[in-house]
Amino acid sequence: MRVLVTGSSGQVGREIELALLNDLHEVVLAPHENLDITNFERVRSAVFDTHVQAIINAAAYTNVEKAEDDYIDAYAVNALGAGNLAKAAFEARVPLVHISTDYVFSKATGRAHLEDEKTFVQSAYGKTKLAGEELVISSGCSYAILRTSWIFGPFGHNFVKTMLRVAQDKDLLKVVCDQKGSPTPASEIAKACVVMAKALVEKPELNLEGIYHFAGTPYTTWDEFARVILAKAFELNLLDHEVSVQSILSEEYPSKVERPLDSRLDCTKIYEVFGLKMPYWEDYLEQTLKAG
């Protein structure tokens, strides 16, 4: 299988490249500097000129804070860019796997969110990602949308690396305690994308198109996630002292973004359709910490 990977220099994109190569697929890399997905003609050329059999879109505007003041640019990448890839996929008759986010859910329901429940978005970032989903769905292309959350891995910036960095000269960190979700290893997201793309290419008769949730287990909160990270870093001698975590409420954390209080994702569907299990996120901390 020959696959175009957009956003290939990012945290998930680099893992997708490795996952494809490990599974003996051909990879056409399209980092932002080589392909501006907000330009449809360039996207169309990239798809048709490379004769790919599938597209995996890992390109995204991910600065949640900045998106509040930079909505136009965030919308261009997260919505229009996704739509351009979907239109090109439709014309080329190739499937698209598109990565989305837990930020499409802002209301707590008392349980993990299902794929078909009503979305409710408050942040600019979440609104642009939801708009991207809608454009992919309406394009007519064969697609799989993968919603995920709290991504971390050895490449790029993420919460795990941030905790390790800021803890080097501190004995106490204040971390939000009232937001629930699922840390998810980027490497497992990448493997899931490859499995889905391969199924869409090889088994079109199964009508696998749709939205899927994929996240790590167990569900947790940011402060508990931080405690596990810091304990692991100390165990690995990446910290020379123990660091305590003080739990604070979201309203005590300085931010212009209203983040989801409960973005837990129910991942039953992706297991039933593709056999993909929720990865145990703590197993992936060591590799990320050592890369930090």
Q: Are 96 and 136 in contact (CB under 8 A)?
A: yes
Query: How many folded domains does the chain comprise?
Result: 1
219 is catalytic: no
Q: What is the pLDDT of residue 247?
A: 98
In a domain, 176, yes or no: no
Q: What is the pLDDT of residue 231?
A: 98
Residue 61 tokens, joined: 């505007």
3-state secondary structure of 96: strand
Beta-bridge mates of residue 3:
27, 54
Cα 109-189-103 angle, rounded to 5 deg: 35
Q: What is the pLDDT of residue 199?
A: 98
Q: What is the pLDDT of residue 84?
A: 98
In a domain, 241, yes or no: no
Task: Please pick, among 61, 75, 103, 125, the residue that the annotation labels catalytic.
Answer: 125
Chain position carrying tokens 């910490």: 289
- Which residues are CB-neighbours of 169 under 8 A, at least 6 positions away? none
Reading the chain (292 residues) residue by residue, the pLDDT tens digits are 999 999 999 999 999 999 999 999 999 999 999 999 999 999 999 999 999 999 999 999 999 999 999 999 999 999 999 999 999 999 999 999 999 999 999 877 889 999 999 998 989 999 999 999 999 999 999 999 999 999 999 999 999 999 999 999 999 999 999 999 999 999 999 999 999 999 999 999 999 999 999 999 999 999 999 999 999 999 999 999 999 999 999 999 888 888 899 999 999 999 999 999 999 999 999 999 999 7
Whole-model pTM: value is 0.97
Q: What is the pLDDT of residue 129?
A: 98
Distance from C-alpha of 85 to C-alpha of 93, rounded to nearest angstrom: 12
Which range of residues forms the domain containing residue 75?
2-157+183-218+265-281
3-state secondary structure of 263: coil
Distance from C-alpha of 256 to C-alpha of 64, rounded to nearest angstrom: 9
* Residue 203, domain CATH: 3.40.50.720
Which DSSP string corresponds to 18-62?
HHHHHTT-EEEEE-TTT--TT-HHHHHHHHHHHT-SEEEE-----
In a domain, 235, yes or no: no
Q: What is the pLDDT of residue 53?
A: 98
In a domain, 67, yes or no: yes
- Taking each helix axis as running N to C, give the angle between helix 186-202 and helix 11-22, from 0 to 180 degrees, rounded to the nearest 10: 50
In a domain, 207, yes or no: yes
Distance from C-alpha of 79 to C-alpha of 131, rounded to nearest angstrom: 5
Length of the chain: 292
Q: What is the pLDDT of residue 253?
A: 87
Q: What is the pLDDT of residue 97?
A: 98
In a domain, 178, yes or no: no
In a domain, 288, yes or no: no
User: CB 283: neighbour CB atoms within 10 A?
Assistant: 11
In a domain, 14, yes or no: yes
Closest by Cα among 266, 289, 282 to 116? 266
